Amino acid sequence: MPTPLEPECAVVHPLVLLSVVDHYNRVARDTKKRVVGVLLGSTHKGRVDISNSFAVPFEEDMKDPTIWYLDHSFLENMFAMFRKVNASERIVGFYSTGPKIRQNDLQLDVLFRRYCSNPVLVIVDIRPEVQGVPTQAYYSMEEVNDKKETVRTFKHIDSLIEAYEAEEVGVEHLLRDINDPTVSTLASRVAHKMEGLRGLKSRLEEMHAYMDAVVKGDLPVNNQVVYNMQDIFNLLPNLNIEALVKSYFVKINDMHLVVYLSALIRSIIALHNLLNNKLKYKDYENKKSSQTAKEHADKAASASKA
């Protein structure tokens, strides 16, 4: 069990995501660079509540990741100003636009340990084509490697997206201009299902690539990763059980019957409306034709009298 000081989950608020995206668009848009900033919030019983953030000037050499620069004085001055606005918010970690962990992130973690005991690293994926939760959270811990040396490495923790009531209202107002009102609820639900399936496919491909690398000897075996994969496979249902297969067939047949009856009723109603429409306009046409014939007869009578 982790100690109370070790974070167990990171809760990211919408304001943080908007700030990170704005920071990236201002500094590193259309480049291969990433941006780094400070996360502010509070920690309670392993839950890290990240409610605010601010950008920090950061540069790194793309060819040599060990060469990097972060403006300490800017960080301390900005944090002092934020403390004047909200004294309850403290430094809880740092963010990066990744989209993966970089080699010098451990050095950044050492730097941020000056400001908090257990800083969390939140990687925000700002790529619009990536589906799913855009955040991944980590914190560093000490491990003993194969050479019996103590090294520090990142450990993955749960990452959640939550919002206060006021933040939900603000996000809804922003999404009003983004959502297409012509798209039906059913279409949006199908789109969400498709996004979930694409996310599942990408995770399975990532697991497959990792196992291939382990078999070829390119990567060492990580027992914790293998245990997690085994747990995932153990949670899959056994579809070879006759009772389960029968229940699936019964459920699917019931759903198809409802769909068939709905389509049949809709067709009958449409045909009924069509017949009613034809009868209505037939009476109107007969009435109009009789009125036209009467007008012609009156004109003919008037002409004969003249």
* pLDDT at residue 184, as a whole number: 63
Q: Residue 123 and residue 134: Cα distance in Å, rounded? A: 8
Q: Residue 65 and residue 53: Cα distance in Å, rounded? A: 24
CATH number of 9-179: 3.40.140.10
Query: Does pLDDT of 287 surpass 70?
Result: yes
* pLDDT at residue 25, as a whole number: 92
What confidence tier does 2 reach under pLDDT thresholds 50, 70, 90? very low
Asked if omega into 99 is within 30° of 0 (cis), the reply is: yes
* pLDDT at residue 81, as a whole number: 94
pTM of the predicted model, to two decimals?
A: 0.67
What confidence tier does 82 reach under pLDDT thresholds 50, 70, 90? very high
Domain locations along the chain: 9-179, 180-236, 240-290
What confidence tier does 1 reach under pLDDT thresholds 50, 70, 90? very low
What confidence tier does 179 reach under pLDDT thresholds 50, 70, 90? low
Taking only the tens place, the pLDDT of each residue in 186-245 is: 777 787 788 888 888 888 999 999 999 999 988 888 888 889 899 988 888 777 888 888
Mean pLDDT for the stretch of residues 122-141: 86
Taking only the tens place, the pLDDT of each residue in 253-285 is: 999 999 999 999 999 999 999 888 888 887 777
Mean pLDDT for the stretch of residues 17-46: 92
